[in-house]
Amino acid sequence: GAGVSQSPSNKVTEKGKDVELRCDPISGHTALYWYRQSLGQGLEFLIYFQGNSAPDKSGLPSDRFSAERTGESVSTLTIQRTQQEDSAVYLCASRGDGLTNTGELFFGEGSRLTVL
Amino acid sequence: GNSVTQMEGPVTLSEEAFLTINCTYTATGYPSLFWYVQYPGEGLQLLLKATKADDKGSNKGFEATYRKETTSFHLEKGSVQVSDSAVYFCALKDTGRRALTFGSGTRLQVQP
């Protein structure tokens, strides 16, 4: 696609429910990142995928959070048993590699999650 | 660990005023430094970057100089426009790390 696409753009859920957030990166981008942006806070790194390498999960805040990516395509971030403190905007970004790697991250518009 | 500290907003300026948004960092290696901008209703996009000490990044009239001695990367623009109203994020990428570390963002409001 032309840019990074995220869905849903807005999600309201009840505490304790599971949610899935989807990211479709720029075609050909091998690197994919998930960040979380809470109100008044900076961007918090969650997880990083690079091609077929093992993902860097060092930013995931708890075992309720997980993410998958199949090859170099779509990624899904799953939050189980959501809590109110999970309310935030979840941002996905992708980056090219090799000749297309300028170091720049290309961000989607985010998925705003509200846990009631 | 790595960290980025930005001045708190919002910063409110009149059109054509001079802009400075302060950014300082802490890093263990030799980081690359970035400014990203988020316009209302849009995703973050790269504004400018600098990869080594004394480099100056520039774009759209904005500039920032990588100052290793003061661990700073302040964003400046000589004459802001209403269209510059956005949230500005300072970020670093340290050597050996793949993820960028972001500051908390500074909201700029430019009034006509």
- Span of A46-60, A99-113, B57-71, B83-97 with lowest mean pLDDT: A99-113
3-state helix/strand/coil string of A29-69: CCEEEEEEECCCCCEEEEEEEECCCCCECCCCCCCCEEEEE
pLDDT of residue B95: 77
Per residue in A86-104, pLDDT (tens digit) is: 999 999 999 887 655 556 8
* Contact flag B100-A56 (C-beta cutoff 8 Å): no
Closest chain A residue by Cα to residue B90: A42
Q: Tell me the C-alpha distance between B50 and B31, whole Å.
A: 9
- Please report residues of B whose CB lies closer than 8 A to that of A43: 44, 89, 91, 100, 102
* Contact flag B32-A91 (C-beta cutoff 8 Å): no
Q: How confident is the model at residue B47 (pLDDT cuts 50, 70, 90)?
A: very high
Q: Tell me the C-alpha distance between A103 and A93, whole Å.
A: 12
pLDDT of residue A2: 78
pLDDT of residue A70: 83
A7: closest CA of chain B, how far (Å): 13
Centre a 10 Å sphere on the Cβ of residue A63 and count the other Cβ atoms it contains.
Answer: 7
Interface mutation vs chain B, best among A32, A35, A43, most B CBs within 10 Å: A43
Region A33-46: mean pLDDT is 89
More confident residue, A104 or B63: B63
Q: Tell me the C-alpha distance between A66 and B51, whole Å.
A: 32
End-to-end CA distance of chain A: 33
Instruction: Please provide the average confidence, as pLDDT, over all residues in chain A.
Output: 91
Region B64-87: mean pLDDT is 97
Q: How confident is the model at residue A111 (pLDDT cuts 50, 70, 90)?
A: very high
Residue A1 has pLDDT above 90, yes or no: no
Interface mutation vs chain A, best among B98, B101, B104, most A CBs within 10 Å: B98
Contacts of B36 (CB under 8 A, 6+ apart): A105, A107, B44, B45, B46, B47, B88, B89, B91, B102
More confident residue, A19 or B95: A19
